């Protein structure tokens, strides 16, 4: 792990939502932020706000599905500013709009390639550098949905569960090499992504509230950050129930597609 507060920080998906809020939470004098995103206009806006708080910012505009572009940019950034903390946050959502909607091969691939492989494309190059230095921390943003799949968003749940499984798997391996691993399991956070979610959204947090909480827990060396607590507890409880009972509970919460759409 890093000694003291991280100074060289990379955040993917930094142009909006939790990623932008995390960038602002870490911005300050003496901090160098590597902010990654696809939308250059929004990314530049995030960078400008972070610079106003005293941080130096390097912007990387590319899609995290492009492994070559991700690795090349990260290698260059790390060469100039050895990364203390990577927050692999970039992700997209998908929900079924109706009972006739279905996530086919292309749609499923887009979700998994962005959420899981996009995370791996950022994590693996940075981890190689951290292992050589025997210090650093990698945080991967999964979701409360990683704890129990929901019929309304199969590909999203699967991609986030894969992130959690990977983080849990490599944590003990990297710990003995001086590299910390944290997996982040947010519940509902007020962002553009949550705005289009059609089900109930209990215990909603603001993006700033979520970012402040995540920073505190990362600073404390937490292996897993799941919030809000009551929602995380409820999702864990579902895994202990018979699947049909858990399915029925999620159905009551409108976490299954409703209504018939056009085929």
107 within 8 A of 153, measured Cβ to Cβ: no
Distance in angstroms (rounded) separating the CA atoms of residues 125 and 129: 7
Distance in angstroms (rounded) separating the CA atoms of residues 199 and 96: 11
Distance in angstroms (rounded) separating the CA atoms of residues 132 and 148: 36
Distance in angstroms (rounded) separating the CA atoms of residues 148 and 87: 23
Residue 17 makes CB contacts below 8 A (sequence gap 6+) with 189, 191, 192, 193, 207
Q: Is 56 helix (H, G, I), strand (E, B) or coil?
A: strand
Tokens 């950050």 found at? 225
Catalytic option among 26, 156, 166, 255: 156
Distance in angstroms (rounded) separating the CA atoms of residues 206 and 164: 23
Give Cα separations from 21 to 12, 50, 64, 145, 168 (angstroms): 12, 10, 19, 21, 25
Is 156 annotated in the active site? yes
The catalytic site residues sit at 156
């Amino acid at each position: 792990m890093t000694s003291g507060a991280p100074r060289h920080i990379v955040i993917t998906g930094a142009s909006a939502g939790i990623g932008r809020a995390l960038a602002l939470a870490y911005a300050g004098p003496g901090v160098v932020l590597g902010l990654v995103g696809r939308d250059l206009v929004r990314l530049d806006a995030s960078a400008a706000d972070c610079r106003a708080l005293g941080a130096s910012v390097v912007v990387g505009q590319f899609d995290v599905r492009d492994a070559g572009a991700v690795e090349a940019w990260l290698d260059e950034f790390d060469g100039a500013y050895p990364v203390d903390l990577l927050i692999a946050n970039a992700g997209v959502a998908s929900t079924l709009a109706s009972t006739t909607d279905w996530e086919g091969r292309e749609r499923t691939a887009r979700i998994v390639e962005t959420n899981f492989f996009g995370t791996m494309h950022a994590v693996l190059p940075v981890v190689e550098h951290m292992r050589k230095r025997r210090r650093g921390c990698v945080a991967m943003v999964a979701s409360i949905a990683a704890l129990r799949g929901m019929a309304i968003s199969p590909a999203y749940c699967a991609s986030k569960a894969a992130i959690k499984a990977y983080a849990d798997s490599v944590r003990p391996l990297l710990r003995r090499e001086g590299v910390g691993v944290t997996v982040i399991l947010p519940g509902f956070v007020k962002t553009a992504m949550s705005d289009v979610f059609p089900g109930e959204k209990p215990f909603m947090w603001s993006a700033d509230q979520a970012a402040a909480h995540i920073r505190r827990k990362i600073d404390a060396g937490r292996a897993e950050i799941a919030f809000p607590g009551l929602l995380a507890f409820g999702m864990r409880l579902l895994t202990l129930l018979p699947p049909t009972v858990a399915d029925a509970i999620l159905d009551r919460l409108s976490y299954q597609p409703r209504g018939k759409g056009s085929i």
